[in-house]
A = this chain, B = another copy of it.
């Protein structure tokens, strides 16, 4: 390579990387040589010599769920455009995460980390921070780190208030984390909190029997709904923590012969691509944009942090959400009249 261009390897390096001064003509010569040889500098040699890896780790708990694949999609888009490679770590179980953060294969391997709604223990978080490289959290906040997310509490309140305004009083909550899970998603806790806040703000008491957790995804939502259906008191409306659970609930209801929204209203969160097909009322968020923003933020930090002192306040981007009214919510069939509070 250096031979073909008739220069030293140092000049090859400077020409191709754009760092340092090289005569325009020399640079051209080197680039031509690179092209004819289809030469690409060895990433490993570059990484070792320069300390920069041009690689970002993306850590996700799920890959097959709408939110996560959408975020990753947004992330790869901007990272690839910026010439960064993406190292994907799919840590589905608590065991996976423990093993991963104990070994910490990220050390000296990547320039930055994008953590997507990972349910992390303190140990995990410490191991991450010990890396001492920029980290951006997506979908949940991590103390002291820049993050991109939505207002989870407000999202849940919006959904539940919608049901309340329709006249519902017995409103159940369907959560996505199994009862026996040894951890939870931050967003799950916040959405549950928003649900309870909305209820108490109108003097409806949240009751444990109306908060069910059936597990992840469609099957989890279906299981949770089935449990609600077998309970003593049927709710007139259900708020599911995210659309896949809501869709599972719809499935369960259909199999039980109950009509939506006639018998029970259902509302979710996400605006999953299937929501419109199932005519599901939901609070929409733009997951792909979250990925785009987070990656952009990380890239900025990477370009800024070159030896400068760490910035003061970590950026916290909060994206808007929007209640999308569709066909799975309606006023309850029969008003519960013994609840008092008549119109003046």
In the complex, A109 has a CB within 8 A of chain B: yes
* Least Cβ–Cβ distance between A102 and chain B, in angstroms: 9
In the complex, A185 has a CB within 8 A of chain B: no
In the complex, A202 has a CB within 8 A of chain B: no
Query: Which residues of B have CB within 8 Å of A45?
Result: 44, 48
Contact between A76 and B48 (Cβ–Cβ < 8 Å)? no
The copy count of this chain in the complex is: 2
Contact A85/B85 with A43-B108, A44-B53, A277-B250 known, Cβ cut-off 8 Å: no
Contact between A42 and B277 (Cβ–Cβ < 8 Å)? no
Query: Which residues of B have CB within 8 Å of A76?
Result: 63, 88-90
Contact between B273 and A217 (Cβ–Cβ < 8 Å)? yes
Query: Which residues of B have CB within 8 Å of A44?
Result: 43-45, 47-48, 53, 108-109
Contact between A108 and B69 (Cβ–Cβ < 8 Å)? no
Q: How far is it, in angstroms, between the C-alpha of A278 and the C-alpha of B76 when the chains are bound? A: 31
Interface size class of A (residues with CB under 8 A): 35 or more
Interface 0/1 of A79-122, CB less than 8 Å to B: 01000011111101000100000011101110000000000000
Smallest CB gap from A39: residue in B: B107
In the complex, A207 has a CB within 8 A of chain B: no
In the complex, A276 has a CB within 8 A of chain B: yes
Q: How far is it, in angstroms, between the C-alpha of A277 and the C-alpha of B247 when the chains are bound? A: 8
Partner pick for A251 among B48, B80, B277, CB 8 A cutoff: B277
Query: Which residues of B have CB within 8 Å of A55?
Result: 87
Q: How far is it, in angstroms, between the C-alpha of A318 and the C-alpha of B274 when the chains are bound? A: 30
| Interfacial residues, chain A to chain B (CB-CB below 8 A) | 38, 40, 42-45, 47-48, 53, 55, 58, 63-64, 66, 69-70, 72-73, 76-77, 80, 85-90, 92, 96, 103-105, 107-109, 130, 217-218, 247-248, 250-251, 273-274, 276-278
